[in-house]
Each structure stands twice: as C-alpha cells, then as structure tokens.
Structure 1
Amino acid sequence: MKRARKAVLLLLSTIFSIAAVAQRHNILNENIRSLQVVANQDWLALPIIEVGNGVLDINFDDLSTEYHRYTYSLQHCESNWKPSTSLFESDYVDGFANGNTIDDVTPSLLTNTAYTHYHLRLPNSNCQPKLSGNYLLTIYDDNDNVAIKVCFMVKEPFTKSMGVGLNIVTNTDATINNAHQQVEMELKYNSYNVTNPQSQIKTVLLQNKRWDNARWNVKPQYVMNDGLRWSHNANYIFWAGNEYRKFEILSTNVAATGIERILWDGKHYNAYPFISLPRPNYLYDEDADGAFLIRNSDNNNINTESDYVLVHFQLSCPQFTNGDVYVNGDWTYDRFLPQYKLIYDDQSKSYKAVIPLKLGYYSYQYVLVDENGNAEIAPTEGNYYQTENSYQALVYYREQGGRTDKLVGYTAVKFKIK
C-alpha cells in the first residue's frame, strides 16, 4: 500500500492542466480594472446561467474620465473552449452576436482615482444566448482592439440535465488524513442517449473555481448503462492547501478586516494588510475561496463611489529557489502576470508586491510558479486535509451526429470535515 501511495504522489507531481487559458477572463487593455463577471448575483459561484433563465452581469472600470464606445461579440465554444465552427450565429444567439454596444456607462463620483464604470447584462434586447455550452464574449475598444475577453457558461435547465454527484474524501490514494483531498464523482445520464461515452461525454473538475489546475476528461473507473463513476482515481486527487487569506477595505479612512493601516502619501491611498506569515498548521478561517466583492462602507453606489487604493502585500519567509511567488484569487483570473508577482526583498527577508485594487472584500492565496508556468500552493500556506475547499464539476454532451458540445450537468460542493 505504501508503495502504491508513493506511485500516486509521483503521478501527482507530474499532472498539469492540458487545456489552454482560453477559459479564463483576460484583460488586454492596461486601463481596464476590476473586471467582475457574476451570474444571478452570486459572486461566490462560477459564471453560469441556464438557457432562458438567469442573468449575467459584467462590470469593469476604465481608468479614464473620457467615454469610450465599447462593443462586444459573442462566440459559442466547445467543451475545450475552442470556437464552435460548425454552428451559425443564429444557432446559438437570438438577436445579434456582433456589433453590440455597452450603453450602461457612469463616471466615478467623489473618488481620488477618476474612472468610468461600464456595465453589461446578458441576456438583453440585442443579444440572448439560447444554446447551452461555453461562451466567449469579446469586448472591443473604439479602435476595434480587443480590450477584454470574458468566459461564461450556459447550462441546460434542471429538468433537462444529467445528474452529477460529488463526494470529497481525505483518506486518499496518496495520503491518509494528511495533505490531500480526493474527489469521487458519479454521473447519471437520465434521459440522454449515450452509446459511446468516450466520445459523447466530456468532463471538467475544478477546485475553488481554479482553471489553472483543472482536471479534464479523466477516464472513469466504472462505465454503466445509465452513467459513469469515478472512484479511487489518482487524477482526482488535489493538494488540500489551507484556507484562503483575506482582507476588506471599505473606506480610505478606516482600516477594516485584515488591514493594519491605511496611509495617504499625497497622491494615493495605501493599504497595508497584516504581514503574511508561514502557516505551519491548519488555520480555520471562514473565507471565500478566492472570490472578491466590490463594496464600500456605505454599500451605496458601490460601482462608482468606491475608490482605488494601493495594496501592499508582504509575505515573510526565506526566498524560494524553485519558482516565483504570485498572489492568486478570482480577481487575478488565475493568470500569473507581472502585476501579481511578488519580488523578494533581502532587507526585510520577505516577498513584496503593490497592487492597485478597488474598495471591497478580497480573498487570496500565495502560489509558487515554476519556469514552465506550473503553479502549486506556496510552501508557506501548507497543505491540510481539513481545508474547506469547494469543488465544481462540469459535464458536456454531444449527441450522435451532433454539431456541438452542450453543457448538460453541473454541480458544486463545499467540503467540510465531519
């Protein structure tokens, strides 16, 4: 048994995401800040709406006082996020898939950092997605340059869905009640006709909505007439990590949760979260698994009256030689970009970064990224089986002779130790 567990650990050390980063939001205009993509006002969940039901809100700021005419296009994608080239626009959208403008535009009010806020809601009178699956919404500036790429999903209604069940265990095939969590998954076809599951069914399993370490199309152990089952599958073992760190900045005058002090330097407000220290033990703390929420102390006109502050991150620890340290959360869109990288300071013996953020609640963790771009939880965070991670499963189906992948199953669970 010990030999088998060592083999699984070796396999885990070599697992990496096989998909491109097309499924992650992407900001390509340096003036754009605070992109939020929220379905049905649930800021903790993946951006998923049902066919014919629900709303998707897209909010972002342009750090300019000038109005810019932003337009958008909508593209249906397959389960691997490649464009659905076999479909016509009329197959997946009612209205117009291209040339739509974002008309809900409001300048900031009484903020030190001036900006213009843009809001788009789908569906709207010009554009209504009508086919389940993955969608890429591309936003263009007034010079027709791509400014933002937004990824979201549309799923079949509950009555037309496959049944998806998840169970999380800590007695894993890698370790027993130690550093890992293992997912068991069961899929019921319900009314769908599946004759060749290998070609007709595609699956994605996420931990804490992270796409950078997603598990794609893992082969099930059990193939049944009415469904599939994954049990004791090494590819469904995840490092458990620790609870996310968090802070809240609700005002430029008063330090809130997780903030030691806020200072004015004559030009900018500067917020200093308490210095992050290594976590040698599991630390329970109710968190949001990387999610963020724009808000202010008055909860009034949060999108246009919330200011920007320079947030000074500091992680006190020895310097690592096997990778770079990044701060990661939903608000970094699982992208390990220079603006989220911490630089080691020899004098203070710590990693530091200064990141401009809008007032609100932020949860985050530190990750270590190697030279190949593979990320793992930084050693300072630790891996503890008790960690209350969330897991999300997406199931896609293509009927025999069908032209596209439909999103027919989705579930999300929050692991809590019993």
Structure 2
Amino acid sequence: MKQLYTIISLLFLFTYPAWAQQHEIFNQRIRTLQVVGGTNWLSLPVSSLGGEPIHIDFDDMTHDYHRYSYKIEHCDANWNVSASLFESDYMRGFNGNQIIEDVEQSINTNHPYTHYHLAIPNADCQLTMSGNYRLTVYDDNAENEEEGKMFTACWMITEPQPLVKLKLEATSTTDIDIQKTHQQLKMELDHSQLRITHPNQLNIVVLQNGRWDNAVINPKPDYLSAGKMSWQHVRALIFDAGNEYRKFEFLDTDHPTMGIDAIDWDGSDYQVKVMTDSPRPNYVYDEAAKGSFYIRNSDNVENNNTCEYAQIHFTLKAPKQPGDVYLNADWTYGRFLPEYRMEYDEMTKTYHARLFMKQGYYSYQYLMKMEDGSIRLLPSEGNFYQTQNKYNVLVYYRAQSDRTDRLVGYGELK
C-alpha cells in the first residue's frame, strides 16, 4: 500500500507543457471547419471504438474542385504523435492517399464555395485503438506537401467500455468563497481495473467548457485508497464561474433574427451587425451552447451548401482593458489569433471585430490575453457562481506493455 501511495503522489508532480486539442487552419481558402462526434455538436469531438462516427466538415471558398487527401495520426496524451506505433497498430485500411469524396458546390450563394464532408470510420479506414487523433488534409494539386497542407483536425476515441469509473460534482461552496464567483469540481475515480506501477502511466485532463487555455492537468488528489482516487478540496479544481456565453443566430439575409441588430447589403457583401454587448452587472440565466455553433439557415434545408457567408460585426461596450480582448468559442478553435482580436475605439468606448462567417447559430464569450500570455475573464462580463458551466474529464492510461496512451475514461458534467 505504501508503494501505491508513493507512485500516485509522484504521478501528480509531473507537468506536461503542450496540452492542446486544437484544430488549425493553414490556408485561408478553408472556412467553417467543424468536428463532431456523432450528432453531438454541443460537446467535445469524442466517440468510442465501434461507436458513432466522427464527422469533419469544411468549406473551400471556391467553386473549383480540389483533390483533398487526408492522413490520420494517433497521438499520446500530450498530443504528440505516437511515433513508436505503426499505422497497423491503430487503424485498418488505407492512410495518407485517400480522397475526400463527399463534395457539394454551393447553390445560389453570394460567395461561391465547395463543401467537403468526411466521416471516420469509413469504407477505407477504421480506427482500432482508443486515444487522441489528429487528421491532416492536403491539396494533392499543390506543388509540395507543405504548400498543400490545408488544416489539421483533432478528436478523441474512448475504449468501447470504460476501464475506469468517474463521478463528478460541481459546487459553488468552494475553498475560496461560498456562492460568489467560483465553482469547485469534485471528482472520484475508480481505477481498480488498471495496473499502475509507474508515475507516467495515468494522465488526467480537466476542461471547463471545452477550453484548453485553462485546462487543469493531473491535479493532485487529496484522498487515496487501493484502486481509487478522490478530489474533494483541491485548489487546482476551483474555476472562475464566469457568465453565460453570449449568442446570436444569423438565419436570413432579409431580416434580423435572434441577437442581430441589422443586416445591410453593400453591393458585394452582407454586413451583419450583432447587437451591441453591454456590461453584465447581474447574473441572468441564458441557455447558451458554451461556445458551440450549428450551421443552418431559415429554410433549414441543405444547410451545408445553401447557407450564405457574410461579414459579421461584433461590438462590446466596455472600458479599455489592460490586455487584448478576443472573441473565444469552438469556432475560434481555442486560438488567440489576430483575426479574433478586438480593436478599441476611444471615441465610442467600445471594442469592435469583424469576421467572415457562415449562416447559423453561434455562441461565444470574450476573454482577455495579458502581456505575460495568461488568459483572464473580462470584469465587465461578470463572474457569478450560478453560471451553468460544463466540465469534461479525460483519463489516459499507458500499460507497461503499451507504446502510447489510451483514453480509458471520459466524463462530462453539465
């Protein structure tokens, strides 16, 4: 028993510098990349071996057909490629030269585009190992591989049956304050089916609303017993509660829908103004989608290739902040890029951003990036214990005979 306690204690002293499950777009032709497990667009892109497929959708902003091929790589818990694996260790079928064949050109849209869809598994490839996966899409017509690299998409695959049991609870009675501005996650993990003899064998990731910028990696448990761990009063699992995500729906080019103030046509683009976001001094319940998005228009028919693209204008009324203010959501892919950074207007005391986006439902929040790289909430957005946050827990395990990490447990608390 003493040896078990020593191993588990050492486990949670390790740090991992590069945790990130983030899609990345390399070519500006690519828009509206979305990765969904089954039909669950409101959650992380997670499925199980033999379960529902992972769906990958994106648009190429031309009507030209491009021969897009894809390559799938298995990654360890730290999202590094599992270099010691052969492809045959984690998949059956072909990899690297298979073509995305589900292609549709847009119909009667102001900006022509071509929609591509890929499902994994498919007739050409089937995954056989749980864990993290990264898919890279290439344009085969490019002169070289680097020039043809279009984007990467990431998802997670769990074991067919969980090898651990997770119990999650979020409370506003925290070790910092009581029903004020924080939430504390409590967890119980039963890992009695696993044989743990080395500190690197188990890795635990905790996410709030699918965000990787404030992910908690390997929080140290405060209670241990044979085959079980418990986190009841762990400071690392106390999160700012924040506020509900904001949202809007751009469904029609003729009249505004939810959250839209005005729609204008300037001769080349639809200019869509989202209602100005004002400071929120009080909590008001709003069932937003925690950063998720769903592509559709008012007809809700053939959404993939009939939805319009438009210039979407965001305005935030707030005093100038000490850091850079960014839009943040699943559709920004967790990245703090210049295109998502808002500019401040001293005259109107407002922040502004303009993005080229497809019709649909979008939820989002504002975050602030400080000079030291840290990410913070905006004070003007409010911070309330009642906020309906979502928490996800990923449990990775590497047996002594394994050459990479498997995803043996997954939990979600809404």
1:264 partnered with 2:268: no
Deviations 1:371-411 (A, max 9, x none): 23321121221110000000000001111232111100001
Q: Which residue in the other structure is 2:5 paired with?
A: none
Shift of 1:361: 0.3
Code of the residue aligned with 1:152 in structure 2: it is W
Deviations 1:290-344 (A, max 9, x none): 1000011111000000001111100011111x21000111100110101111000
Cα separation, 2, equivalents of 1:377 and 1:305:
36
Q: Which residue in the other structure is 1:180 paired with?
A: 182
Code of the residue aligned with 1:299 in structure 2: it is N
Asked whether the 8 Å contact 2:71–2:136 carries over to 1, the reply is yes
Q: Which residue in the other structure is 2:399 paired with?
A: 399
Deviations 1:32-88 (A, max 9, x none): 100010111110011111112211110000111111111110110110111111211
Task: Say if 1:80 and 1:130 are closer, same or farther in 2 by CA, change over 3 A.
Answer: same
Q: Which residue in the other structure is 1:253 paired with?
A: 254
Shift of 1:137: 0.6
TM-score normalized by the length of structure 2? 0.93
Deviations 1:174-226 (A, max 9, x none): 22111111111111124322344x32210000000111111111121122212
Asked whether the 8 Å contact 2:343–2:352 carries over to 1, the reply is yes
Cα separation, 2, equivalents of 1:187 and 1:131:
22
- Gaps of at least 5 residues in structure 1 are 1-16
Cα separation, 1, equivalents of 2:297 and 2:151:
25
Code of the residue aligned with 2:232 in structure 1: it is S
Q: Which residue in the other structure is 1:273 paired with?
A: 274
Alignment equivalent of 2:138, drawn from 137, 140, 145: 140
Matches within 5 A, 1:174-253: 174-196=176-198, 198-253=199-254
Cα separation, 1, equivalents of 2:284 and 2:79:
37
Q: Which residue in the other structure is 2:12 paired with?
A: none
- Gaps of at least 5 residues in structure 2 are 1-14
Q: Which residue in the other structure is 1:11 paired with?
A: none
Q: After TM superposition, what 4+ stretches of structure 1 lie above 6 angstroms from structure 2?
A: none
Matches within 5 A, 1:338-417: 338-414=338-414
Asked whether the 8 Å contact 2:20–2:212 carries over to 1, the reply is no
Q: Which residue in the other structure is 2:6 paired with?
A: none
Cα separation, 2, equivalents of 1:165 and 1:211:
21
Code of the residue aligned with 1:175 in structure 2: it is D
Q: Which residue in the other structure is 1:169 paired with?
A: 171
TM-score normalized by the length of structure 1? 0.92
1:149 partnered with 2:152: yes
- CA RMSD after TM alignment: 1.3
Alignment equivalent of 1:51, drawn from 42, 49, 52: 49
Q: Which residue in the other structure is 1:14 paired with?
A: none
Cα separation, 2, equivalents of 1:270 and 1:21:
37
Other structure's SS at 1:23 match: coil
Code of the residue aligned with 2:149 in structure 1: it is V
Task: Say if 1:39 and 1:79 are closer, same or farther in 2 by CA, change over 3 A.
Answer: same
Code of the residue aligned with 1:187 in structure 2: it is L
Other structure's SS at 2:273 match: strand
Code of the residue aligned with 1:273 in structure 2: it is V
